[in-house]
A and B are shown apart, each in its own frame.
Chain A
Amino acid sequence: MIRFVKTGQPAINSVVCDEFVNSALADTKWLSLRNNGSARIKKVDLRTKDQLMFRYATRQEGGMWSIHLDSLNGPLFTSIPLKVTKGWNVATVTIPVEAGVHDLWFKYKNPNLKTAEENGADFSWFHFTQAFPGSGEPGYDSARQQYFDLVSSSQYTSTPIMVDGPSDLLRTSNVFERGNWMVKGAEVKPGVPATLNPMPSGAPSNRLGLAMWLTDKKNPLVSRTIVNRIWEQLFGHGLAETLEDLGTQGIPPTHRQLLDYLSRQLMHRYNWSLKTLIREIVLSSTYRQSSIASPEVIEKDPSNKWYARGPRVRLSAEQLRDQALAVSGLLSPKMFGRSVMPYQPAGIWLTPYNGESWRISEGEDKYRRALYTYWKRSAPYPAMMMFDGAARNVCVARRINTNTPLQALVTLNDSSYLVMARNFAYELKKGGITDAGQQIKKGYQQMMYKPISEEKLKALNGLYRQSLQVFTADKQKATEVIGEDDQHNNPETAAMVVVMNAMLNLDEWITKN
């Protein structure tokens, strides 16, 4: 119904409570108040707020929660009877409008609690806000009800969104002396490095201000960085090779004027449109050159940093998987939602003290794009790690492509790739094409968008014949490749699976030419 609701934020989380008397942070995070218990939240800005929304749980009838201003026995701000809940509940009450910023002292009383140790009520957050707008308008009550139903509902998966804390919720930040968080040095305020351009005038000292500073036209660094990164995506290496460092410690750009020109265009002409930038680059004659080069050119410029030929770049871990899924007809177009668990060998997750396990997803979820793969940092998806995927333990500014035998083993032997080869072989039979040579030609055309050459066809036909011989002689092997009860279980198809498995390993497939 509604895909996005931003509300109740920024909330004051119960972890900021202190001054606990017969109360505690249960499970280190929930404020848990027992009979006659109390706790405090410091410095809450109450100005213009007339609603208190809070998330709580209580199983005890008769609980009364009171809030006092500035000291435990300070003036009573409000008293709130707490109704019994089933699990967590979000409630909203009207509160008096109070001027200024106050420490709030919470007290809890419940005559039904027999002992001091018995738990009364738990709270997870508090949010002071203004009344639902539109009072007196037609349909106000139902709109308001719908809003609160949504807020209290547990049926919707919520994705946390970062929100700037308002000034009264900002914490003070200190320099950690010699990196030690226990030893706090001078207090620091948001700012930008003094050696770079200052914040634009009027920019607030928050994330918005930072964004304004980043995209200030006086600061070409962001534009240069983006241009360089996009260039790297297209050509395999940036105009400045060190994507992570365009400063004095990085490798200077090979074509500085070009980098400057494109970043100026991006800011001033393309109005930050990356699409326009990419269009400009891919339509250039530099990009449109063939990757074919003479031995002389390659000897003079082995890494192609002077661009006398078109780029040849190995695809990324994610691209490789997506591309193979796509051509084999398995790729699920499904978007959004939870991460999925495609096939991975057993025993990758072996974590002490918890029972988590990798459960292979059902149906098309097995074949979603690589970016939907469930990621556990201490046991990342192995096939992607082998193709230089990042474990995501640290921010990796640049992936470095390597070429190792273990990569060959992934695309040759990983069951996922076998499933893809199998499906690809089935697809090729469609439309009544029975001749193996025709199927190979069709497969190659689909993969590379060009007809196969005589010599290449010869090599792959040879592999087909050899495989066919093996599977004709030993039908059991064909069954192992295809599976028992499958309509495709015959030596011809099994042989084609072997050929497609080989084709998904070709250099020209793994590499962008």
Chain B
Amino acid sequence: MTQKELHNERLAAEARQKELQFCTRRHFLKESAMGFGALALGSLLGSCGNNMGMTSPPAFDAAHPLAPRMPFFPAKARSVIYLHMAGAPSQLELFDYPELAKLNGQDCPPSLLEGKKFAFIRGVPKMLGPQANFKQHGNSGLWVSDYLPHFSSIVDDVSIIKSVTTDQFNHAPAQLLMHTGSARLGRPSIGSWVTYGLGTENQNLPGFVVLTSGGNNPDAGKSVWGSGFLPSVYQGVQCRSEGDPVLFINDPKGIDRDLRKASIDAINKVNQEQYKEFNDPEILSRISQYEMAYKMQISVPEVMNINDEPEYIREMYGAQPGKGSFANNVLLARKLVEKGVRFVQLFDWGWDSHGTGADTAVDIGLVNKCRQVDKAMTALILDLKQRGLLDETLVIWGGEFGRTPMQENRDGKEMPFKGRDHHAEAFSMWMAGGGVKGGTTYGETDEIGYSITSGKTDAFDIQATILNQLGFDHEKFTYEFQGRPFRLTDVGGKVMTDILV
């Protein structure tokens, strides 16, 4: 049996088992759900609109804000997994292989410094060659460094964009720009836009899930998954590795599942009495929300539990149950999209390689960070592929900006570790699946990775492309606020057709 056949065999076995579980669960839920709730659920799902061919967003229905809706045109991708490396990973140690090595240790030429502003670099810094070794990989011959040995094996499935640029060089505003289309607070995040446009497929799970690792939330806080001016129902729901997996999902101490079921039954019985008197359909809706809450209490811990995953899958990701690691989160992301969650956003903190200490040195700390994500992100692509989900799942990887080809000299002084400052002008991201071409690169930088020479791509272009793959014209997907329609992409954005199938 070849490796591939073995894989298929295992997957088939896993699928059969899941199907059995699913049948039992469906049976159980059907039995436990009360007639009334089922009725309300029917009307809820019945309201599933069809906007196909329409050019304007669906009208907001406050009674059923999360009912599934169709996009403007047939979508290439059904779900999105966005892996954000908060702190901004160095493109110069990972993907962009410029001839920077030749200049290592030389003073930075004044032409690169004139009129430029840096977060920490002062005076004339030295150039810093790539600390990693680069090789070409796959049939496509894409350049990837030895910091990412696993990722190197899947380059034929990804598009590396080497020409991303931003106009923000501090973390919080740059992250906001990347995810909300504005460097200032108050705009909805891309996941909120998508949930507003498409609703939720699996009513037992939130439609927009956020997972964080690395010990901190991103610098911009919860605003990067906030709903801005959209109704707050569209904000990202943070699933946590410690405490309740979703806030308030666990029953209080001393109140077990059966008793919780009994409470909800009693609440709904009283609410039914109320409905008999008032005839208000909102009461039916509340009854169904309580039933869904109960189902969510089963579904969420279940989907968040990676113990159920077979050993070889956990091994593939490098996931260890009980940890708040990136690897666990990536595996969870796959489980979530498998269950119909639309948008999964991961933030991994700790990529701010300034060289102020060993943990932020591009030749020490960055190597460790890469080790923490390399295997898992590679496994994600392989696993989605073997499940036939890669075609319909768009995976995006990147940070909020890049890092300078110069070595950081904080306060004009030489530093003990090798670090790089924030660099807004050029950085790299990659995308895979969901209708994105494999084995390609897009855009070029100059020979030292400092400026973009072709294929300039900004946050709006990335956002426009994500929306396009989900079936939305980013120029027509709007929300009325303060007297005018707003777009995720403001007045910018062009779909990056060159990297699309």
Residues of A participating in the B interface, judged by any CB pair closer than 8 Å: 244-245, 247, 249, 291-295, 298, 302, 312, 314, 345-347, 350-353, 376-380, 382-383, 385-386, 388-391, 393-394, 396-397, 400-410, 412-415, 418, 453, 455-456, 459-460, 462-463, 466-467, 470-471, 476-482, 494, 498-499, 501-502, 505-508, 510-511, 513
Contact = CB atoms under 8 A, between A and B. Distances in A.
B280 A397 contact: no
B296 A394 contact: no
Interface string B210-248: 001001110111110011110111010100101110111
Interface stretch (B115-123, B143-151, B281-289, B444-452): B281-289
B258 interface: yes
Nearest to B233: A402
Contacts of B270: 456, 459-460, 506-508
A409 B297 contact: yes
Interface of B: 60, 62-63, 65-66, 185-186, 203, 206, 212, 215-217, 219-223, 226-229, 231-233, 235, 237, 240, 242-244, 246-256, 258-260, 262-267, 269-271, 273-274, 277-283, 285-287, 289-290, 292-293, 295-297, 349, 480-483
Given A389-B232, A401-B62, A352 B240 contact: no
Contacts of B229: 394, 396
B222 A380 contact: yes
Contacts of A502: 263, 266-267
A292 B280 CA distance: 8
A12 B481 CA distance: 37
B277 A459 contact: no
B263 A463 contact: yes
Nearest to B254: A480
Given A403-B289, A412-B248, A508-B270, 12 more contacts: A249-B480, A345-B247, A353-B219, A386-B232, A405-B292, A406-B293, A408-B290, A408-B292, A409-B249, A460-B266, A501-B252, A505-B267
Nearest to B275: A507
Contacts of A353: 219
A234 B265 CA distance: 31
Contact of B280 (A291, A396, A400, A407): A291
A403 B286 contact: yes
Contacts of A407: 289
B300 to A, nearest CB: 10
Nearest to B261: A466
A231 B63 CA distance: 21
Contact of B259 (A380, A383, A404, A467): A467
Most chain B CB within 10 A, of A291, A294, A402, A513, is at A402
Contacts of A393: 185-186, 223, 226, 228
Contacts of B226: 391, 393
A102 to B, nearest CB: 35
Most chain A CB within 10 A, of B250, B256, B266, B289, is at B266
Contacts of B243: 345-347
A284 to B, nearest CB: 21
A361 B435 CA distance: 52
A463 B63 CA distance: 29
Nearest to A376: B221
Given A312-B278, A350-B217, A379 B222 contact: yes
A390 B248 contact: no
Nearest to B286: A507
A247 B237 CA distance: 35
Q: For the complex of A and B, list the 8 residue pairs with the smallest distance between their C-beta atoms, beginning with the closest.
A: A378-B221, A480-B254, A394-B186, A481-B254, A408-B293, A463-B266, A459-B269, A405-B293
